[in-house]
Structure 1
Amino acid sequence: MYRRKLTALGYVQPEGINLNDDKSFKNLIVWLENQKIRSYKIEDRGPINDVDSRDWETNFIKYCGQLNCPIDPKDRPAVVDWLLGLAVHFEYQDNAEKFKQETSENVLNRRSSAPKVVNTNPLDALDFQSPDFIEGVNKLAGLLNINPHPDHLVTLQAISKMVKSRLNNEALQNPGEFVHQGKPYPIFESDLGFETGDFILNNAGKALRLLHIHDLRELQTQINECIVAVQLLTANPKTDTKLGKVGR
């Protein structure tokens, strides 16, 4: 709700204000006083600038009184809105002549003279909810033997995952290392380890358990790769018999 005022004042992160966060709130107050409002003399701004002080809230109440703020200082949204309005007022006073020269015509002329960015990505022009797109996703899923999901975007995620893992250049060159051969694992005939009392929930639990095991195996593979990479950087198997020691 403060974005326009903060943008007009030149605040660094106009969309990153969180009034429930003490640090964000205090930093905004300090910035407004030091850069825009300047109610105190520089040498008198210490109490309001010391955001880590235990007395900061008391000093802030005094600060609001100094400004004759009609808002309860404990009502952060309202008091910030009032302070921003005051800061905009002072900003206009300091640059009145500059703002008087700004007209709607000048603004429109600047916008029209700005270079137009032409988007060349064809994916941005796609309608992901159109019947043709949905039909194309389902047809592609059929070609890859992927069971379609009621939500076509979920089906598209499955297609993307399969393409990355099975149809990349490395997999196409060495299909035996990526496409598992042999008898499929009888997942629904395995023991779940516990009983839910519902056949469908039992099967869902078995599927989730298998997926979890798959994720753990992939994590272990990544850990092993990290260990090998570190060993390559730290190990030096060369033996210098002249020096009578291993390594450098």
Structure 2
Amino acid sequence: MFRRKLTALDYHNPDGFDSKDETQFRNCIVWLEDQKIRHYKIEDRGNLRNILSSEWPKAYQNYLQDVSCPFGVQERHEALDWLLGLSVRFDYGDNVEKYKQCEPRAASSNSDKAMDPLVNLDSALCLTGDSPDFKAGVMALSNILKIQRHDDYLVMLKAIRILIQERLSPEAITKASQKREGIPVSLDKHILGFDTGDATLNEAAQILRLLHVEELRELQTKINEAIVAVQAIIADPKTDHRLGKVGR
């Protein structure tokens, strides 16, 4: 998954790189700092370069914080991808002519994708695949809005867009802030079905029953909305509902 960026950075073995191999992973981090990012002064890179030390994870954690990476040590692949994107950005600044020679990605013939502005949101970056700033921004928004993470950041962005449109748009906020006028209800017309022996308790029980009925109606509305959403997904030609997941 990192081959394209490593190739763009002229890494010595982009095809054979295995991020799960601890030695390769640490060497790659050191190489990125030494050759591309250069955040530390040379004399301050000793702890990061000492990949055999048991203290290396701590040095790596400090490094991620120092370069303002939005991901931590536990988010191994996300952090590495972010560092690769940062490296490409710096490398682009140093070698603009090299990147000008890159061929743009082939445009998709899918008319649905052409109509969706999110699909080509990050297409201006040649060979990078995706922007670290874009990923960090989507991740930050998803955390604020409590949206579940997904491997595809565009899927997360679409979920954010839907939530904002339905809950946080000016129209949605205006509608939510409007006072709901209640309809007067005559309790005498609603039979309770049992008698507590106390007129006040009977009236309270009738009110509770009416409130419960209203809650059931709201629940049914949400169930209907969920059914409509599922039907829309199943109807999407990009979805293979037999596998229970969205195809890419």
Tell me if both proteins adopt one fold, taking TM over 0.5 as the criterion. Answer: no
TM-score by length of 2: 0.40
Between 1 and 2, higher relative CO (CA 8 Å, sep ≥ 6) is seen in 2
